[in-house]
């Protein structure tokens, strides 16, 4: 008797997994292209602007609270599983180097996740890295204008465990005493590279 044709079974889980991998790769490539564009942009004066956000005690904080001081701003979120905690840990080490030389910089962590990042959550999160980092968050209406001003892009997607993750552009923004952009530093720099670049930028701006 002729053998019956074999039925080929398809794995229903393969397509979604491939889609997630491809989508994530595209987001990473887009983030790298965006970072390189920003780092080499001729007119960086268009980056940055006013903000009105909440600290861990739900006090309203604006750029005027830091007038006369240099601030180092990083955008992230507390549910981040890789880049954000690594960056904050590296920045913390860089700040320790600068503290030894009495270099005045106020580090700020601004959440890109208004849905989950409450002021209390953000304050607890940054306290794990450094007592000097000030965590700021707010409603979507408060955060979105800040993201636009700093050219921060955010894309939501589901991780392997179906948890919501965010892919966002990552850079360190050194802002001057009048909330003016002084320089941009890649987050994949080492702690020593960050501290060295910060000292260079401050030196060029007469500090």
Give residue 85's Cα distance to chain centre. 10
**Binding region:** 80, 84, 168
CA distance to 79, 106, 135, per residue, from 65 (Å): 27, 11, 14
**Binding region for Cu cation:** 80, 84, 168
Instruction: Indicate the burial class of 178 (C-beta count within 10 angstroms; 0-12, 13-18, 19 or more).
Output: exposed
Output DSSP code: residue 19: H
Give residue 84's Cα distance to chain centre. 6
Other C-beta atoms closer than 10 Å to the C-beta of 110 total 24
The residues, ordered by sequence, that sit 6+ positions from 156 with a Cβ below 8 Å of its Cβ are 164, 165, 166, 167
CB 73 within 8 A of CB 169: no
Give the integer Cα–Cα distance in Å for 35 and 177: 24
């Amino acid at each position: 008797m002729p053998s019956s044709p074999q039925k080929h079974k398809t794995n229903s889980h393969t397509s979604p997994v491939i889609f997630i991998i491809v989508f994530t790769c595209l987001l990473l490539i887009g983030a790298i292209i965006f970072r390189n564009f920003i780092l080499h942009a001729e007119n960086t004066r268009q980056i940055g602007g006013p903000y009105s956000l909440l600290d861990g005690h739900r006090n309203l904080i604006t750029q005027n609270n830091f007038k006369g001081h240099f601030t180092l701003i990083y955008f992230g979120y507390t549910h981040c599983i890789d880049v954000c905690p690594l960056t904050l840990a590296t920045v913390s080490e860089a700040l320790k180097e600068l503290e030894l030389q009495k270099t005045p910089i106020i580090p700020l962590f601004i959440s890109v996740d208004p849905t989950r990042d409450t002021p209390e959550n953000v304050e607890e999160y940054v306290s794990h890295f450094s007592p000097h980092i000030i965590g700021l968050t707010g409603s979507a209406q408060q955060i979105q204008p800040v993201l636009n001003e700093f050219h921060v892009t955010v894309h939501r997607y589901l991780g392997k465990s179906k948890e919501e993750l965010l892919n966002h552009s990552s850079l360190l923004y050194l802002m001057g005493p009048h909330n003016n952009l002084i320089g941009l530093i890649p987050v994949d720099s080492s702690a020593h590279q960050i501290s060295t670049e910060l000292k260079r930028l401050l030196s060029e701006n007469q500090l």
